Amino acid sequence: MKQFILSMIIFGTIGLVVRHIDLSSSEIALLSSSIGCLFLMFVFLVMKKSIPWKLVKANASVVILSAIALGGNWIFLYQSYSYTSITNATLAYYFAPVFVMILSPIILHEPLPIKKMVCVGVAIVGMLLIVGNGISASGKGDLLGIFFGLVAAAFYAALMLLNKFIKNMTRLEFTIIQLGTTALLLLPYVLFTEGFNALGVSRSSIPFIILLGIINTGIGFWLFFSGMQKLKGQSIAMLSYVDPFVAILISGVILKEQLTIIQMFGGVLLLGSTFVSENQSMKFSKPLMKKMVK
């Protein structure tokens, strides 16, 4: 669980890093996936390991589908930001955990305890308080942006569920293959939509591109996939909310953007519900209830 939470914290800092890069969102996504893959490949070689291509072939269908899900997640999320406000896009995007919660009993055959249902509901309320006062879809652009955000959420939920089906591959091996495949899938999208202008990037952006590729993508996704393998689908859904909360916290503390009392209260609901969901000791058994009454 610690690995997954750390990956969410790393992902929560992406907005701060991307703000210092003067490229389009799709170009940034392509560079980050490419650099992340190359960095993890270097780590892999330093560890004197080799990729087991037989296992890659055995998991090929899941790898390709999950890479498509990751690429689609990035493309539609960035498209959402282009058509509507960040608040609307984020609110739509973070319906992904709800999709996971609904699909986990069907796909992963995991039970959905009442406690987790309540906690997910509380987390959703907290997220609504954090990202704003609700959806404002007064124009066609807003509606299209919200639609793209929901599509990105569906891809993200698919990514979380698909990675549970990878067999006999280590997380490092899988992350390298997935990021490499995602980069290959993003390349034609970037070329056909807007071209590739990375060679014209400013010098001031280069350190942040490297930081985004190595830390936020390479190490971040390694921890993400490693941590999620040990968690149930509903737990992944709950802990995924740490990402946007960290991003909003950074915007208030580092960027000095306004953080209202309502947003802070939403953060308390979010993290509190996550804690309650994960803490097994908070189950009130009959013996414990009797001790409390005494």
**Over 11-28, what HEC string results?**
HHCHHHHHCCCCCCHHHH
Residue 24 lies in a domain: yes
What percent of the chain is modeled with pLDDT above 70?
77
Residue 35 lies in a domain: yes
- Residue 204 is given by DSSP the state G
Identify the pLDDT of residue 138: 45
Residue 288 lies in a domain: no
Residue 49 lies in a domain: yes
**Mean pLDDT across 82-110:** 73
256-277 per-position pLDDT tens digit: 656 567 766 876 786 677 667 6
What is the token pair recorded at 105? 């009993």
Q: How many domains does the chain have?
A: 1
- Supply the range of the domain harboring residue 207: 2-101+135-231
| pTM higher than the cut 0.75 | no
71 pLDDT more than 50: yes
Residue 158 lies in a domain: yes
3 pLDDT more than 60: yes
Residue 109 lies in a domain: no
Please state, in angstroms and rounded to a whole number, the distance separating the CA atoms of residues 90 and 273: 20
Residue 153 lies in a domain: yes
Q: CB neighbours (10 Å) of residue 170? A: 16
Residue 115 lies in a domain: no
Are 108 and 187 spatial neighbours (Cβ–Cβ below 8 Å)?
no
**Mean pLDDT across 120-143:** 64
